[in-house]
Amino acid sequence: MTFVGCDLHTRQQQVAVLDTTTGEIREQQLLHEGTTVEDFYAALPRPVTVGIESTGYAIWFHALLQRLGHTVLVGDAAKIRAMVVRKTKTDRRDALHILDLLRHDRFPAIWIPDPATRELRALLMHRLRLVRIQTMLKNGVHALALNQGLARGSKLLRRAGLAQLQALPLPPYTAQRRDQSLDLLATLRTHLDHLDDAIAAVALTHPDAPRLLTHPGVGPVTALATVVVLGTVSRFPDSKHVVSYVGLAPALSASADKYRLGKITKQGSALLRFVLGQAAAHASRLDPELTRTYRTLAQRRGRAKAKVAVARKLLVRLFIMLRDHIDYDEFRRRGRAPVVAPG
């Protein structure tokens, strides 16, 4: 058997290879040029297990190794770094460290979605980026209007507000910024409409997303994001692990007999946290229990923390619906969801 610890970069990789038959370890740097990488891995004695850290540019490498019939393990980068005894960091030491974790069965492997799920994640992330660009442009337009004494709030980008904005006598460069921003916003809106149509079509035909759509306030984007981020929900022992996985659990600071809960960890999917936050705003108006939760916490802790608490409760509900294969009506019939401590 062959174990490979791989420190992967964009243009090259450092590998440490162990042949368990001979006990020999060899090290090598591979440049990502031509067929160098494929030739190297194709020549290794089988079976082969390759370990790499989680990264955002390894899809091609993952696909290559799977095509060659090798086992690929992707590890939690933070946990791998935490297991390093010596803090001096080099590519050689990183590759050898990964190899050591593999050979001693200590490698912190994480779940990897299949190619179809990765494609849907990429689609949803693309939409999220466009939404953030749209928000940035809207904020710029609002700032421009306020600097000219035009305060219309959310009505600025509606028909009457736009007419007032476009009628403002502005210096040449300011007028150019206004016109270009409005043009970009119109283009983005068209792209987002097309994306939303595509996402809705996929969500309706997905095996699991339609049951999530039965929950008030949950639309196609939230439903699809939940199923593609969580993946196989049976891998989570309980709802607490799901909340922690998404990064909606409060950080814990403990010293001696003192415990303090802080802000949410945000160690998880930014995509799912974002869409759950949006869905929470709608669900807190449509579901009686979530309405009570929001109003109570908003009075005691403020609206921002109340929104996070509702998003957390909503995530737990969606997890239960997926785990138990039930819709919203059946969830309500069974009783309340388990209570999750507010942040």
Residues 325 and 216 reside in one and the same domain: yes
Is 207's pLDDT higher than 90?
Answer: yes
pLDDT at residue 85, rounded to an integer = 76
Q: Quick one: DSSP state of residue 54?
A: -
Query: How does the average pLDDT of the chain come out, rounded?
Result: 93
Question: Which residues are paired to 2 by β-bridges?
Answer: 19, 48
Three-state SS for 263? strand
User: Domain span at residue 68?
Assistant: 2-103
The rounded distance, in Å, linking the Cα atoms of 309 and 264 is 10
> 335 CB contacts (<8 Å, ≥6 apart)?
none
Mean pLDDT of 178-192: 98
C-alpha 291, offset from chain centre: 26
Mean pLDDT of 277-301: 95
Mean pLDDT of 203-207: 97
pLDDT at residue 343, rounded to an integer = 46
Residues 239 and 131 reside in one and the same domain: no
User: Does residue 63 lie in a domain region?
Assistant: yes
CATH of the domain at 84: 3.30.420.140
How many structural domains comprise the chain? 3
**pLDDT tens digits, residue range 293-332?**
999 999 999 999 999 999 999 999 999 999 999 999 999 9
Question: What's the pTM?
Answer: 0.87
Residues 81 and 65 reside in one and the same domain: yes
Query: For residue 172, what pLDDT band results from cuts at 50, 70 and 90?
Result: very high
User: Does residue 167 lie in a domain region?
Assistant: yes
Angle, CA 193 vertex, CA 188 and CA 197 arms, to 5°: 150
pLDDT at residue 266, rounded to an integer = 82
Query: For residue 242, what pLDDT band results from cuts at 50, 70 and 90?
Result: very high
Question: Which residues are paired to 12 by β-bridges?
Answer: 31
pLDDT at residue 315, rounded to an integer = 98
The rounded distance, in Å, linking the Cα atoms of 229 and 201 is 18
